[in-house]
């Protein structure tokens, strides 16, 4: 009895250590959020924006609540996007609300009391901004989802088309679900 109890005790201890290590690896936040933070800027090379001549820094706006904390800044640090108009460093901006004229290329809509996710989506409709939302929120062009314990995403081609964005087939092939321009849902 004592032996089995000891074994169980040690098993719990091991689990605790592993959990601690995992937490340490994700720099404090929950694992999904850490993955999302690294995914967010990686959408950029797979999407084409209508303003090909833009030379300002490539901006990722976190609108409303920020679930990432320092994770996003750390992931983006030193990353530079090469575009037809030249290299564009990637930067992160935190704003409370977003509008059609906000200088954002990718907007993560966290939602807040000032502007819900749905309001934010409406505000940027037709603007050249790639909207990214979380699983439980109204879906933007890209909506995170968790499948089989992995962070994946859905893609709404209709919204992308409205915003004048073209999404690479490579990205589309990785999406869990793609809603095309006609509103048809493709597996």
Partner 1 sequence: MTGLWLSRLRRLGDYRRPIAVSLSLAVLIVASLLLAVFAEQRHTAQVHQAARVQAQILADAVSGALAFNDQDAIGQYTSALRENPDVLAVGVYDDKGSLVARYGAQGAPGRLEDAVRATPPGSFAIDTPVIQGGLKLGTVYIREAAEPLGLRVARYSGAALLVVMASLMLTVMALDARTVRASHERLLKEVADREVAEAALRQSQKMEAVGRLTGGIAHDFNNMLAVVLGNLDLLLRRFPNADPLLLRFVSSSQEAAKRAAGLTHRLLAFSRRQPLDPKPTDVGKTVQDMSELIGRTLGETISIETVRGAGLWRAHIDAGQLETALVNLAVNARDAMPGGGKLTIETANAYLDRTYASGPEAVTPGQYVMVAVTDTGSGMTAEVLDQVFEPFFTTKPVGLGTGLGLSQVHGFVKQSGGHVAIYSEPGHGTTVKLYLPRSTEAVEVAAPEPGRRAGNTRRELSVLVVDDEAGVRDFAADALVELGYDVVSASDAGEALRVVEGGARPDILLTDVVMPGRSGRQLAEAVVRIKPDVRVLYMTGYTQNAIVHNGVLDSGTHLITKPFTVQQLEVELEALMDL
**In this complex, which beta carbon is closest to partner 1, that of residue 45 or of residue 126?**
45
Q: Compute CA 139 distance to the chain's CA centroid, rounded to the nearest angstrom.
A: 12
In the region spanning residues 112 to 171, those forming contacts with partner 1, defined by CB under 8 A, are 150, 152-153, 168, 170-171
Q: Which residues within the stretch 30-49 sit at the binding site for partner 1 (CB under 8 A)?
A: 35, 39, 41-42, 44-46
Residue whose pair of structure tokens reads 């493709």 in the numeric block: 186
Closest CA to 64 of 141, 121, 105: 121
Residue 176 interacts with partner 1 (CB under 8 A): yes or no: no
Q: Which long-range contacts (CB under 8 A, 24 or more apart) does 5-9 make?
A: none
State the nearest-atom distance from the C-beta of 98 to partner 1, in Å.
23
User: Using the rule CB under 8 A, is 108 a contact of partner 1?
Assistant: no
**Residue 159: CB partners within 8 Å, gap ≥ 6?**
121, 125, 131, 140, 141
Site residues, partner 1 (CB under 8 A) = 35, 39, 41-42, 44-46, 79-83, 87, 150, 152-153, 168, 170-171, 173-174
């Amino acid at each position: 009895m004592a032996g089995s109890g000891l074994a169980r005790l040690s098993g719990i201890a091991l689990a605790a250590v592993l959990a601690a290590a995992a937490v340490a690896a994700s720099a404090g936040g929950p694992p999904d959020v850490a993955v999302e933070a690294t995914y967010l800027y990686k959408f950029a090379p797979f999407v084409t924006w209508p303003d090909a001549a833009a030379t300002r820094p490539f901006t990722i706006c976190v609108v409303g609540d920020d679930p990432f904390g320092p994770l996003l800044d750390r992931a983006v640090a030193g990353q530079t996007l090469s575009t037809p108009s030249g290299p564009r460093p990637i930067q992160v901006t935190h704003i409370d609300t977003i509008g059609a004229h906000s200088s954002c290329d990718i907007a993560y809509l966290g939602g807040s009391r000032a502007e819900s996710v749905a309001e934010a989506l409406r505000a940027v409709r037709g603007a050249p901004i790639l909207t990214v939302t979380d699983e439980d929120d109204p879906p933007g062009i890209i909506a995170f989802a968790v499948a089989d314990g992995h962070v994946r995403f859905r893609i709404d081609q209709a919204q992308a088309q409205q915003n004048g964005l073209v999404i690479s087939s490579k990205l589309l092939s990785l999406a869990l679900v793609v809603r095309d321009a006609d509103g048809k849902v493709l597996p």
